[in-house]
A = this chain, B = another copy of it.
């Protein structure tokens, strides 16, 4: 991960409401949840929420997809893991002294067997 992206990602997480948004999406899992549901859960104005989603998206921490009238936001676990790895990679004088944490959400079955 480039340092510039790391700073952007850290800045994206370094705000009360955005940290709440991100953690909510992390808990929601890879399927994500609609912007409106996030707005209701955290009691945030929709335009304010858009502002925060933009920050998270620019940092690569969430993705957005349209589904009907809603826009579904989902956490990007890979990016979160990359950030954690970046923070710990130079730990202990450059010697890797512990594996970086990694979070792989339960794999969605490709096809539900009949």
Residue from B3, B11, B77 in contact with A91 in the complex, judged by beta carbons closer than 8 Å: B77
Q: How far is the CB of A74 from chain B (nearest CB, A)?
A: 13
| Residues from chain B with Cβ under 8 Å of A19 in the complex | 3, 6-7, 10
| Residues from chain B with Cβ under 8 Å of A101 in the complex | 84-85, 88, 98-101
Tell me the chain A residues, 90-111 only, with Cβ under 8 Å from chain B.
90-94, 97-106
- Copy tally for this chain in the complex stands at 2
Interface size on A, residues (CB 8 A): 37
Cβ-based interface call for A34 (8 A): no
How far apart sit A23 and B3, CA to CA, in the bound complex (Å)? Answer: 11
Query: Which A-B residue pairs are the 8 nearest by beta carbons?
Result: A10-B14, A91-B103, A11-B14, A101-B101, A14-B14, A100-B101, A88-B101, A10-B13
